[in-house]
């Protein structure tokens, strides 16, 4: 089974005070630590599990600078066989551009299954995987919480709203957007990462992909990024239910809410 897994290096923003850059188009990233995107980490583990069950090869792919090779080395240390980094040069592609770049790379490679994370920690758009599937003309499933491959088909479990799950069969080749919790990503040691340095990591220039600048021109543009305004906080109402209900109605009327 030939498996391709798409990964991304993202900033860790959960426990830091974020600042907006002077252009107001992004957060300041120069002082942030980076790691593999959480959803992608589960996707890599699922790729390795499928390889261990069915044989074959796993290729990890990312779009980014030399610093982004960190997540490829991690993927290799987890068990991927090869890695590819696409160098975008001075281009700043949006999600659609990233999907086009990945599609152009993957078209020239054998693939039975393409895996992505459901979304990325930084932008939370959740769009690259499904757009990539359309560009590659692959059957696809999103928010996948279970995969069982059987010959030319796979049984996938998909998380729906309200805690409901759906089980369906999908023909291979297919693209699956992996949800967190599908597995338990294996621990990667420093020694493992050092050993992974001996595995193949290829760099592809964006100019070698036969994509024009028009192909990669952003479909979306960030006009302004801003932190949510500070508020006075929550107001707690005390008293019996009737008193609280009357107070809520009074507040709503003061805010201009009509029946």
* pLDDT for the residue numbered 259: 65
Q: How many CB atoms lie within 10 A of CB 145?
A: 17
**3-state DSSP assignment of residue 46:** helix
Determine the Cα angle at 108 with ends 103 and 109, to 5°. 95
**3-state DSSP assignment of residue 102:** helix
CATH (residue range 2-216)? 3.40.50.620
The residue ranges of the chain whose pLDDT is under 70 are 259
Of the candidates 176, 74, 78, which has an alpha carbon nearest to the alpha carbon of residue 118?
176
pLDDT tens per residue, range 81-137: 999 999 998 888 999 999 999 999 999 899 999 999 999 998 888 999 999 999 999
Contact 138, 174 (CB under 8 A): yes
* pLDDT for the residue numbered 30: 85
**3-state DSSP assignment of residue 239:** coil
Cβ-based neighbours of 25, under 8 Å, separated by 6 or more:
222, 224, 225
Task: Give the residue extent of every domain in the chain.
Answer: 2-216
* pLDDT for the residue numbered 170: 96
Output DSSP code: residue 58.
E
Element (H, E) at 113: strand 113-117
* pLDDT for the residue numbered 196: 85
* pLDDT for the residue numbered 221: 87
* pLDDT for the residue numbered 116: 98
Of the candidates 226, 170, 180, which has an alpha carbon nearest to the alpha carbon of residue 22?
226
* pLDDT for the residue numbered 194: 85
Contact 116, 178 (CB under 8 A): yes
* pLDDT for the residue numbered 190: 85
Cβ-based neighbours of 67, under 8 Å, separated by 6 or more:
9, 34
**3-state DSSP assignment of residue 144:** strand
Environment class of 178 (CB within 10 Å of its CB; exposed 0-12, middle 13-18, buried 19+): buried
* pLDDT for the residue numbered 48: 97
């Amino acid at each position: 089974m030939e498996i391709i897994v798409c990964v991304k290096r993202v900033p860790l923003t959960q426990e830091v005070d974020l600042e907006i850059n002077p252009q107001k188009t992004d957060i300041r990233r120069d002082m942030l630590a980076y790691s593999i995107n959480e959803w992608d980490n589960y996707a890599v583990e699922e790729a390795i599990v499928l390889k261990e069950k069915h044989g074959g090869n796993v290729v990890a792919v990312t779009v980014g600078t030399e610093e982004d090779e960190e997540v490829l080395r991690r993927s290799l240390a987890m068990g991927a066989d090869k890695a590819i980094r696409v160098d975008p040069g001075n281009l700043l592609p949006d999600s659609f551009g990233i999907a086009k770049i990945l599609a152009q790379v993957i078209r020239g490679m054998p693939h039975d299954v393409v895996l992505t994370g459901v979304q990325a920690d930084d932008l939370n758009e959740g769009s690259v995987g499904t757009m990539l599937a359309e560009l590659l003309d692959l059957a696809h499933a999103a928010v996948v919480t279970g995969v069982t491959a059987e010959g030319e088909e796979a049984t996938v479990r998909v998380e729906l709203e309200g805690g409901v799950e759906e089980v369906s069969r999908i023909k291979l080749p297919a693209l699956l957007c992996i949800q967190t919790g599908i597995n338990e990503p294996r621990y990667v040691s420093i020694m493992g990462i050092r050993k992974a340095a001996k595995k193949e990591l290829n760099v592809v220039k964006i100019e070698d992909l036969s994509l024009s600048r028009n192909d990669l021109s952003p479909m979306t543009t960030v006009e302004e990024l801003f932190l949510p305004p500070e508020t006075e906080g929550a107001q707690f109402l005390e008293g019996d239910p009737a008193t609280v209900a009357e107070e809520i109605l009074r507040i709503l009327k003061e805010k201009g809410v009509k029946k």
